[in-house]
């Protein structure tokens, strides 16, 4: 790039598809942020950009925290492992020479048969199944048979794991319902236009800096932007070619791409 005449390369940013649009703008905001320390007048422009991005993020970024997802997976895995231990132990006792334990095992194996493969069901279905199972195993006379085979601790742990799973799962379901409600209130096209306008205001200001104060930090921002712009132009061009090939294969006339 010519250091005497640095400039931002133009590309049809408004044509970027879905999350690619948000991803580019979010990355660009992060690249620009270090300039605030040297150029305080940049702050309100960057704040407006991030505010618009915050709205767009609600469309493409789920509010679910990684922590809740991790807890859900851990509880799910714990339930499956505990059920596996219970099934294996009960099955082993079917060959027990002690008659009371053998009878208990035979009764339990029949009782547990419908719950094999519970871990492979969808979360909602598996949660209902585990709730029914733990209730069944803790009720008499089944609870006495569980105790006779030394599995009371495993059943208690299974009940606790199921309750932990249900708590996190219901929380995530509530988050999903809230997200759907929020998305219904968002005008996606208007939100994207607001982001693009804030982006253009930001690049215009930085373009002026690149001419009047072409520091290494400023030039780095311009260079990063232009590299991303080149890559995204190529992606858009490839998408256009694929679309035209598809239209040709279907016998329909090719469409013209919109200009930014």
Q: DSSP letter string over 85-127?
A: HHHHHHHHHTT-SSHHHHHHHHHHHHHHGGGTTGGGS-HHHHH
pLDDT digits (tens, 9 = 90+) for 228-259: 999 999 988 887 676 666 655 555 554 444 33
CB 217 within 8 A of CB 35: yes
The pLDDT assigned to 182 comes to 58
The pLDDT assigned to 230 comes to 93
The pLDDT assigned to 184 comes to 61
For the chain, the distance separating the N- and C-terminal CA atoms, rounded to the nearest angstrom, is 24
Cα–Cα distance measured from residue 86 to residue 109, given in angstroms and rounded to the nearest whole number: 10
- Show me where the domains of the chain are located: 13-61+187-248, 66-183
Here the tokens at position 223 are 């260079």
The pLDDT assigned to 119 comes to 72
Low-confidence ranges of the chain (pLDDT < 70): 1-5, 60-68, 121-124, 171-186, 240, 242-260
Helix axes 188-212, 43-60, angle to 10 degrees: 150
The pLDDT assigned to 220 comes to 95
Here the tokens at position 220 are 């780095």
CB 130 within 8 A of CB 165: yes
| C-alpha dihedral, 191 to 192 to 195 to 197, nearest 10° | -110
């Amino acid at each position: 790039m010519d250091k005497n005449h640095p400039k931002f390369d133009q590309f049809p940013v408004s044509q970027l598809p879905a999350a690619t649009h948000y991803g580019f703008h979010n990355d660009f905001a992060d690249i620009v942020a270090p300039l605030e320390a040297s150029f305080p007048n940049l702050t309100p422009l960057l704040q407006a950009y991030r505010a618009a991005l915050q709205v767009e993020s609600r469309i493409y970024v789920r509010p679910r925290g990684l922590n809740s997802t991790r807890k859900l997976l851990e509880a799910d895995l714990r339930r499956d492992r505990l059920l596996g231990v219970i099934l294996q132990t009960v099955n082993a006792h079917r060959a027990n020479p002690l008659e009371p334990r053998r009878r208990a095992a035979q009764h339990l194996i029949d009782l547990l048969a419908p719950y094999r493969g519970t871990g492979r069901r969808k979360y909602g279905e598996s949660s209902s199944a585990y709730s029914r199972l733990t209730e069944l195993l803790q009720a008499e006379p089944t609870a006495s048979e569980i105790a006779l085979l030394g599995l009371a601790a495993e059943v208690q742990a299974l009940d606790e794991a199921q309750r932990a799973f249900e708590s996190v799962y219901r929380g995530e379901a509530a988050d999903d319902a809230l997200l759907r409600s929020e998305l219904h209130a968002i005008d996606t096209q208007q939100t994207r236009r607001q982001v693009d306008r804030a982006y253009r205001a930001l690049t215009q200001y930085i373009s002026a800096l690149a001419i009047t104060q072409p520091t290494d930090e400023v030039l780095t921002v311009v260079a990063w932007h232009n590299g991303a712009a080149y890559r995204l132009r190529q992606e858009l061009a490839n998408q256009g070619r694929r679309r035209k090939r598809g239209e040709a294969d279907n016998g329909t006339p090719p469409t013209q791409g919109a200009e930014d």
